[in-house]
Protein backbone atom coordinates (compact mmCIF):
# COMPACT_ATOMS: atom_id res chain seq x y z
CA UNK A 1 0.00 0.00 0.00
CA UNK A 2 2.36 2.53 -1.28
CA UNK A 3 -0.81 4.56 -1.37
CA UNK A 4 -0.69 5.11 2.37
CA UNK A 5 2.71 6.77 2.18
CA UNK A 6 2.83 10.32 3.46
CA UNK A 7 4.17 13.76 2.75
CA UNK A 8 5.42 16.06 5.45
CA UNK A 9 6.89 15.04 8.79
CA UNK A 10 3.61 14.92 10.64
CA UNK A 11 2.07 12.01 8.81
CA UNK A 12 5.06 9.67 8.87
CA UNK A 13 3.89 8.09 12.08
CA UNK A 14 0.55 7.40 10.48
CA UNK A 15 2.17 5.85 7.44
CA UNK A 16 4.29 3.62 9.62
CA UNK A 17 1.24 2.31 11.43
CA UNK A 18 -0.70 1.83 8.23
CA UNK A 19 -2.53 -1.51 8.29
CA UNK A 20 -1.57 -2.51 4.79
CA UNK A 21 2.05 -2.81 5.78
CA UNK A 22 0.94 -6.00 7.41
CA UNK A 23 0.32 -9.14 5.44
CA UNK A 24 -3.19 -9.14 3.95
CA UNK A 25 -5.09 -11.90 2.28
CA UNK A 26 -7.02 -9.63 -0.11
CA UNK A 27 -5.55 -6.64 -1.90
CA UNK A 28 -5.94 -3.85 0.68
CA UNK A 29 -8.65 -1.40 -0.28
CA UNK A 30 -9.75 -3.48 -3.28
CA UNK A 31 -13.42 -3.53 -4.23
CA UNK A 32 -13.52 -7.16 -3.10
CA UNK A 33 -12.08 -6.31 0.34
CA UNK A 34 -14.50 -3.40 0.74
CA UNK A 35 -17.49 -5.54 -0.18
CA UNK A 36 -16.48 -8.18 2.34
CA UNK A 37 -15.83 -5.65 5.13
CA UNK A 38 -19.16 -3.87 4.66
CA UNK A 39 -21.19 -6.98 3.92
CA UNK A 40 -22.83 -7.22 7.35
CA UNK A 41 -23.76 -3.54 7.61
CA UNK A 42 -27.42 -2.93 6.87
CA UNK A 43 -27.42 0.86 6.39
CA UNK A 44 -24.53 3.09 5.39
CA UNK A 45 -25.23 6.78 5.88
CA UNK A 46 -22.82 9.51 4.84
CA UNK A 47 -23.23 12.73 6.82
CA UNK A 48 -22.30 15.62 4.55
CA UNK A 49 -22.72 19.37 4.13
CA UNK A 50 -21.84 22.04 1.64
CA UNK A 51 -20.42 24.29 4.32
CA UNK A 52 -17.95 23.72 7.17
CA UNK A 53 -18.82 23.98 10.84
CA UNK A 54 -22.56 23.38 10.46
CA UNK A 55 -22.45 20.48 12.92
CA UNK A 56 -21.86 17.33 10.84
CA UNK A 57 -19.63 15.67 13.43
CA UNK A 58 -21.93 16.67 16.30
CA UNK A 59 -24.98 15.41 14.41
CA UNK A 60 -23.14 12.18 13.50
CA UNK A 61 -22.18 11.48 17.11
CA UNK A 62 -25.53 12.33 18.64
CA UNK A 63 -27.55 10.43 16.06
CA UNK A 64 -25.20 7.47 16.53
CA UNK A 65 -25.73 7.60 20.29
CA UNK A 66 -29.49 7.96 19.88
CA UNK A 67 -29.59 4.94 17.55
CA UNK A 68 -27.33 2.95 19.90
CA UNK A 69 -29.56 3.85 22.86
CA UNK A 70 -32.53 2.50 20.92
CA UNK A 71 -30.73 -0.84 20.76
CA UNK A 72 -29.16 -0.70 17.29
CA UNK A 73 -25.56 -1.68 16.56
CA UNK A 74 -23.86 1.44 15.26
CA UNK A 75 -20.45 2.33 13.86
CA UNK A 76 -18.99 5.76 13.13
CA UNK A 77 -16.39 6.06 10.38
CA UNK A 78 -14.57 9.41 10.39
CA UNK A 79 -13.37 10.14 6.85
CA UNK A 80 -12.50 13.76 7.61
CA UNK A 81 -8.82 13.13 6.89
CA UNK A 82 -7.62 16.68 7.58
CA UNK A 83 -9.81 17.41 10.59
CA UNK A 84 -10.74 14.15 12.29
CA UNK A 85 -12.82 15.10 15.34
CA UNK A 86 -14.74 11.98 16.23
CA UNK A 87 -12.41 10.34 18.81
CA UNK A 88 -11.99 13.60 20.76
CA UNK A 89 -15.72 14.29 20.69
CA UNK A 90 -16.37 10.76 21.95
CA UNK A 91 -13.66 11.14 24.60
CA UNK A 92 -11.68 8.16 23.23
CA UNK A 93 -7.89 8.40 23.42
CA UNK A 94 -7.04 4.79 22.46
CA UNK A 95 -5.13 3.88 19.32
CA UNK A 96 -6.61 1.56 16.71
CA UNK A 97 -5.35 -1.99 17.11
CA UNK A 98 -5.03 -4.94 14.77
CA UNK A 99 -7.12 -8.07 15.10
CA UNK A 100 -5.56 -11.52 14.89
CA UNK A 101 -6.48 -11.73 11.23
CA UNK A 102 -4.69 -8.42 10.56
CA UNK A 103 -7.76 -6.21 10.27
CA UNK A 104 -8.38 -2.96 12.14
CA UNK A 105 -10.45 -3.30 15.30
CA UNK A 106 -12.80 -0.31 15.78
CA UNK A 107 -12.58 1.75 18.96
CA UNK A 108 -15.26 0.73 21.43
CA UNK A 109 -17.41 3.50 22.93
CA UNK A 110 -20.10 1.16 24.27
CA UNK A 111 -21.51 -2.27 23.48
CA UNK A 112 -23.61 -0.77 20.69
CA UNK A 113 -21.28 1.96 19.45
CA UNK A 114 -17.87 1.66 17.79
CA UNK A 115 -15.78 4.18 15.88
CA UNK A 116 -12.86 4.39 13.48
CA UNK A 117 -10.88 7.51 12.67
CA UNK A 118 -7.51 8.27 11.16
CA UNK A 119 -6.78 10.25 14.31
CA UNK A 120 -6.64 6.99 16.21
CA UNK A 121 -3.64 5.91 14.10
CA UNK A 122 -1.65 8.98 15.04
CA UNK A 123 0.51 9.04 18.16
CA UNK A 124 0.67 12.83 18.20
CA UNK A 125 -2.94 14.01 17.88
CA UNK A 126 -1.80 17.46 16.69
CA UNK A 127 0.02 16.06 13.64
CA UNK A 128 -1.24 17.54 10.38
CA UNK A 129 -2.14 15.12 7.60
CA UNK A 130 -0.70 16.63 4.44
CA UNK A 131 -2.07 14.48 1.67
CA UNK A 132 -3.21 15.11 -1.88
CA UNK A 133 -6.35 13.55 -3.37
CA UNK A 134 -4.96 10.15 -4.45
CA UNK A 135 -3.53 9.51 -0.98
CA UNK A 136 -6.84 10.34 0.64
CA UNK A 137 -8.58 8.07 -1.85
CA UNK A 138 -6.27 5.19 -0.94
CA UNK A 139 -6.52 5.78 2.80
CA UNK A 140 -10.33 5.83 2.70
CA UNK A 141 -10.41 2.70 0.56
CA UNK A 142 -8.27 0.96 3.11
CA UNK A 143 -10.46 2.09 5.98
CA UNK A 144 -13.45 0.79 4.06
CA UNK A 145 -11.80 -2.54 3.30
CA UNK A 146 -9.82 -3.31 6.43
CA UNK A 147 -11.99 -2.50 9.41
CA UNK A 148 -13.60 -5.46 11.11
CA UNK A 149 -16.98 -3.94 11.96
CA UNK A 150 -18.90 -7.19 12.26
CA UNK A 151 -22.68 -6.87 12.15
CA UNK A 152 -24.00 -3.32 12.24
CA UNK A 153 -27.42 -1.81 11.74
CA UNK A 154 -25.98 1.59 10.91
CA UNK A 155 -22.61 2.88 9.78
CA UNK A 156 -22.52 6.68 10.02
CA UNK A 157 -19.75 8.17 7.91
CA UNK A 158 -18.69 11.65 9.00
CA UNK A 159 -17.25 13.56 6.05
CA UNK A 160 -15.51 16.92 5.71
CA UNK A 161 -17.46 19.84 4.20
CA UNK A 162 -17.97 20.12 0.47
CA UNK A 163 -17.96 17.69 -2.39
CA UNK A 164 -14.28 16.75 -2.60
CA UNK A 165 -12.29 13.51 -2.52
CA UNK A 166 -13.75 12.10 0.67
CA UNK A 167 -17.49 12.14 -0.16
CA UNK A 168 -16.70 11.27 -3.75
CA UNK A 169 -14.74 8.18 -2.68
CA UNK A 170 -17.60 7.06 -0.44
CA UNK A 171 -20.12 7.60 -3.24
CA UNK A 172 -17.99 5.62 -5.68
CA UNK A 173 -17.09 2.77 -3.35
CA UNK A 174 -20.31 2.19 -1.39
CA UNK A 175 -23.05 1.98 -3.92
CA UNK A 176 -25.80 1.56 -1.33
CA UNK A 177 -24.66 4.50 0.82
CA UNK A 178 -27.25 7.22 1.43
CA UNK A 179 -26.55 10.86 2.22
CA UNK A 180 -27.77 12.73 5.27
CA UNK A 181 -27.23 16.40 4.48
CA UNK A 182 -26.71 18.80 7.39
CA UNK A 183 -27.35 22.50 7.10
CA UNK A 184 -27.89 25.55 9.25
CA UNK A 185 -30.96 27.64 8.43
CA UNK A 186 -29.42 30.75 6.89
CA UNK A 187 -29.39 31.30 3.09
CA UNK A 188 -25.59 31.20 2.74
CA UNK A 189 -25.60 27.68 4.14
CA UNK A 190 -28.63 26.62 2.13
CA UNK A 191 -26.94 27.75 -1.09
CA UNK A 192 -24.13 25.28 -0.32
CA UNK A 193 -26.64 22.56 0.52
CA UNK A 194 -28.07 22.82 -2.95
CA UNK A 195 -24.56 21.93 -4.19
CA UNK A 196 -24.57 18.84 -1.96
CA UNK A 197 -27.94 17.87 -3.42
CA UNK A 198 -26.59 18.34 -6.95
CA UNK A 199 -23.54 16.28 -6.01
CA UNK A 200 -25.76 13.40 -4.87
CA UNK A 201 -27.83 13.61 -8.03
CA UNK A 202 -24.71 13.66 -10.20
CA UNK A 203 -23.00 10.69 -8.53
CA UNK A 204 -26.37 8.91 -8.15
CA UNK A 205 -26.18 8.69 -4.38
CA UNK A 206 -29.55 8.29 -2.72
CA UNK A 207 -30.40 11.02 -0.20
CA UNK A 208 -31.98 9.82 3.03
CA UNK A 209 -32.78 13.40 3.95
CA UNK A 210 -31.79 16.74 5.35
CA UNK A 211 -31.22 17.85 8.96
CA UNK A 212 -31.42 21.51 9.98
CA UNK A 213 -28.95 22.14 12.79
CA UNK A 214 -28.68 25.22 15.03
CA UNK A 215 -32.32 25.78 14.21
CA UNK A 216 -33.36 28.37 16.77
CA UNK A 217 -32.12 28.54 20.34
CA UNK A 218 -34.32 27.73 23.30
CA UNK A 219 -33.72 30.35 26.03
CA UNK A 220 -32.79 28.45 29.22
CA UNK A 221 -34.50 31.14 31.33
CA UNK A 222 -37.85 31.75 29.65
CA UNK A 223 -37.93 28.74 27.23
CA UNK A 224 -38.73 31.06 24.34
CA UNK A 225 -37.14 30.04 21.01
CA UNK A 226 -34.76 32.67 19.60
CA UNK A 227 -34.20 32.28 15.82
CA UNK A 228 -30.40 32.54 16.04
CA UNK A 229 -29.70 31.80 12.36
CA UNK A 230 -33.35 31.80 11.35
CA UNK A 231 -35.37 28.60 11.17
CA UNK A 232 -37.24 26.61 8.56
CA UNK A 233 -34.91 27.19 5.58
CA UNK A 234 -33.75 23.58 5.66
CA UNK A 235 -37.30 22.26 5.59
CA UNK A 236 -38.12 24.42 2.59
CA UNK A 237 -34.93 23.38 0.77
CA UNK A 238 -35.74 19.72 1.41
CA UNK A 239 -39.27 20.24 0.09
CA UNK A 240 -38.00 22.04 -3.03
CA UNK A 241 -35.52 19.20 -3.67
CA UNK A 242 -38.19 16.56 -2.91
CA UNK A 243 -36.11 14.89 -0.21
CA UNK A 244 -37.11 13.91 3.33
CA UNK A 245 -36.79 16.48 6.05
CA UNK A 246 -35.40 14.56 9.03
CA UNK A 247 -35.58 17.19 11.75
CA UNK A 248 -34.59 20.49 13.31
CA UNK A 249 -31.89 20.45 16.00
CA UNK A 250 -31.90 23.62 18.12
CA UNK A 251 -28.82 25.52 19.25
CA UNK A 252 -27.66 24.63 22.77
CA UNK A 253 -24.40 25.94 24.19
CA UNK A 254 -24.05 22.76 26.26
CA UNK A 255 -23.36 20.94 22.99
CA UNK A 256 -20.07 22.81 22.65
CA UNK A 257 -19.08 21.96 26.23
CA UNK A 258 -19.94 18.29 25.74
CA UNK A 259 -18.12 18.08 22.39
CA UNK A 260 -15.00 19.72 23.81
CA UNK A 261 -15.04 17.52 26.92
CA UNK A 262 -15.75 14.30 24.98
CA UNK A 263 -19.01 13.80 26.87
CA UNK A 264 -22.34 12.53 25.57
CA UNK A 265 -24.84 15.40 25.26
CA UNK A 266 -27.73 12.93 25.35
CA UNK A 267 -26.56 11.48 28.66
CA UNK A 268 -25.69 14.84 30.22
CA UNK A 269 -28.87 16.67 29.12
CA UNK A 270 -31.47 13.99 28.44
CA UNK A 271 -34.49 16.25 28.97
CA UNK A 272 -33.34 19.15 26.79
CA UNK A 273 -35.13 20.17 23.56
CA UNK A 274 -31.94 19.20 21.70
CA UNK A 275 -31.90 15.65 23.09
CA UNK A 276 -35.58 15.29 22.15
CA UNK A 277 -34.82 16.56 18.63
CA UNK A 278 -32.01 14.03 18.18
CA UNK A 279 -34.22 11.15 19.34
CA UNK A 280 -36.99 12.24 16.95
CA UNK A 281 -34.53 12.57 14.07
CA UNK A 282 -33.08 9.13 14.86
CA UNK A 283 -36.62 7.72 14.82
CA UNK A 284 -37.25 9.24 11.38
CA UNK A 285 -34.04 7.60 10.18
CA UNK A 286 -35.19 4.25 11.59
CA UNK A 287 -38.56 4.66 9.87
CA UNK A 288 -36.88 5.33 6.53
CA UNK A 289 -34.18 2.63 6.56
CA UNK A 290 -33.97 -1.19 6.65
N1 LIG B 1 -26.91 22.52 17.65
C2 LIG B 1 -25.77 23.02 18.15
N3 LIG B 1 -25.81 23.87 19.21
C4 LIG B 1 -24.67 24.41 19.71
N5 LIG B 1 -23.45 24.15 19.23
C6 LIG B 1 -23.35 23.31 18.19
C7 LIG B 1 -24.51 22.70 17.60
N8 LIG B 1 -24.08 21.89 16.59
C9 LIG B 1 -22.75 22.00 16.56
N10 LIG B 1 -22.30 22.84 17.51
C11 LIG B 1 -20.92 23.25 17.77
O12 LIG B 1 -20.43 23.88 16.59
C13 LIG B 1 -19.06 23.55 16.40
C14 LIG B 1 -18.90 22.89 15.03
O15 LIG B 1 -19.58 21.65 15.07
P16 LIG B 1 -19.03 20.38 14.31
O17 LIG B 1 -17.58 20.19 14.54
O18 LIG B 1 -19.95 19.26 14.63
O19 LIG B 1 -19.26 20.86 12.80
P20 LIG B 1 -18.75 20.18 11.46
O21 LIG B 1 -19.77 20.49 10.41
O22 LIG B 1 -18.46 18.75 11.69
O23 LIG B 1 -17.42 20.98 11.21
P24 LIG B 1 -16.33 20.63 10.06
O25 LIG B 1 -16.92 21.16 8.78
O26 LIG B 1 -15.14 21.41 10.50
O27 LIG B 1 -16.14 19.16 10.05
C28 LIG B 1 -18.66 22.64 17.56
O29 LIG B 1 -18.05 23.41 18.55
C30 LIG B 1 -19.99 22.09 18.07
O31 LIG B 1 -19.97 21.79 19.44
MG1 LIG C 1 -16.68 17.67 11.33
pLDDT digits (tens, 9 = 90+) for 47-78: 999 999 999 999 999 999 999 999 999 999 99
| pTM, entire model | 0.90
Q: Would the CB of 277 count as within 6 Å of ligand 1? A: no
Q: Would the CB of 133 count as within 6 Å of ligand 1? A: no
Helix ranges (H only) for 114-264 are 133-146, 165-173, 187-203, 233-240, 253-261
Nearest CA to ligand 1 atom 27: 160
Nearest CA to ligand 1 atom 28: 256
User: 82 CA to middle of ligand 2, Å?
Assistant: 10
Contacts of 25 (CB under 8 A, 6+ apart): 101, 102
The pLDDT assigned to 9 comes to 36
What is the DSSP annotation of 64-118?
Answer: HHHHHHTT--EEEEE--SSS--HHHHHT--PPPEE-TTS-EEPEEEETTEEEEEG
For residue range 158-178, list pLDDT tens digits in order. Answer: 999 999 999 999 999 999 999
Q: Which atom of ligand 1 is nearest to the CA of 85?
A: 17
Nearest CA to ligand 1 atom 2: 251
User: 84 CA to middle of ligand 2, Å?
Assistant: 7
Q: Would the CB of 252 count as within 6 Å of ligand 1? A: yes
More confident residue, 274 or 28: 274
Q: Would the CB of 53 count as within 6 Å of ligand 1? A: yes
Q: Which atom of ligand 1 is nearest to the CA of 259?
A: 31
Write down the CATH number for the domain with range 26-287: 3.40.50.300
Contacts of 215 (CB under 8 A, 6+ apart): 184, 185, 229, 231, 232, 234, 248, 249, 250, 251
Nearest CA to ligand 1 atom 15: 55
Q: Evaluate if residue 100 carries a pLDDT over 50.
A: yes
More confident residue, 151 or 232: 151
The pLDDT assigned to 25 comes to 57
User: 213 CA to middle of ligand 1, Å?
Assistant: 9
Q: Would the CB of 209 count as within 6 Å of ligand 1? A: no
Q: Would the CB of 80 count as within 6 Å of ligand 1? A: yes
Amino acid sequence: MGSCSSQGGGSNKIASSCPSQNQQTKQPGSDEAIKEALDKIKNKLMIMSGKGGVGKSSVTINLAMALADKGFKVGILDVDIHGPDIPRMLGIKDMLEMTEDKKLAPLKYSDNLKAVSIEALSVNKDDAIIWRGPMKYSAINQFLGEVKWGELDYLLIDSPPGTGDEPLTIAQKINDAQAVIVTTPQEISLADVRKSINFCNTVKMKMLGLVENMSGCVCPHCSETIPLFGTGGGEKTAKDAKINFLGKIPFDSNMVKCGDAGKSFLKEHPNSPMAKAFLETAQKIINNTK
